[in-house]
Amino acid sequence: MHKNLRFILIITAVVIMGLAIDLYIFVKQSAPEPIIQSYADCIKYTNAITLTYPAQCQTKDGRSFTEPLTDAEKDKLKPPTQGICQNLCGNNVCEEVVCFGTGCPCAETPATCPADCGPKTTGTLTGHLTIGPFCPVERVGVPCPVPEQAYTSRQVMVYSSHDQTLITQKYFDTNDDYSIPLKPGTYLVNVKENFPFTQRTPNKVIIKKGQTLTLNFNIDTGIR
């Protein structure tokens, strides 16, 4: 009799468990589908998150929601603007010819920086460089050959007249000339020497709007 009672209890438990499973499936199937309209809804009802940044959640019907980010987090995703070139628009100097390295000024045109490069807002400082002698003895009509780097390795340095901060600098070209557009104002101009102990007195110039000022340089090498 005990065996029959145990058998009946086991059968009853199995039947009750089966009914419970059927009831759970019925309730789940009859429950309305949740309305998913945001990333928060998606992770609440599906939890199907991809390992990306920002994270994404995908619903069963194929829709995708992206994790919202704060403004600070969005800024971290922006590509760096510094390091390729430095934006100096507004410094009163039209950076037409620039170097190509980290921290160099970005090239400017009247279209990209009218404040510095507008035709009616700048003047021009231009000039020529003469260097010599390059031989102990130079004979008339037989000049010594001048190495090109003697000119192209030197730069014209333009400083603010009131605090002597560097405004711009530019190498002489292969014709030994230079040309620098500048905002109207007073500047100190000099040539950067290749020798650290050589000092030259800077030239004070006044740039006027729409005008060209010529300032030539003559460097004596001291070779005799």
What's the confidence (pLDDT) of residue 188? 92
Average pLDDT over residues 81-109: 73
Question: Which is more confidently placed, 68 or 196?
Answer: 68
Please say if the pLDDT value at position 53 is more than 50.
yes
Verify that 88 and 62 share a domain, yes or no.
no
**Domain carrying residue 86:** 80-119
The answer to the question of residue 188 being in a domain is yes
Q: Among 11-25, 114-128, 175-189, 205-219, name the one with the lowest average pLDDT.
A: 11-25
The answer to the question of residue 196 being in a domain is yes
- DSSP assignment of the chain equals -HHHHHHHHHHHHHHHHHHHHHHHHHHHHHSPPP---SHHHHHHHT--EES-SS-EEE-TTS-EEEPP--HHHHHHHSPPSTTT-B--TTSSB---S---STTPBPP--TTT-HHHH-TTT-EEEEEEEEEE--SSS-BTTBPPP--THHHHT-EEEEEETTT--EEEEEE--TTSEEEEEE-SEEEEEEEE-SSTT---PPEEEEE-TT-EEE--EEEE----
Query: What percentage of the chain carries pLDDT values higher than 70?
Result: 75
What's the confidence (pLDDT) of residue 214? 93
The answer to the question of residue 21 being in a domain is no
Verify that 130 and 191 share a domain, yes or no.
yes
What's the confidence (pLDDT) of residue 83? 53
What's the confidence (pLDDT) of residue 197? 44
Verify that 113 and 63 share a domain, yes or no.
no
pLDDT in tens, 105-150: 888 887 788 877 766 677 889 998 887 776 777 667 777 777 777 7
Question: Which is more confidently placed, 165 or 22?
Answer: 165
Please say if the pLDDT value at position 223 is more than 80.
no
Average pLDDT over residues 199-219: 85
What's the confidence (pLDDT) of residue 215? 92
- Domain count of the chain? 3
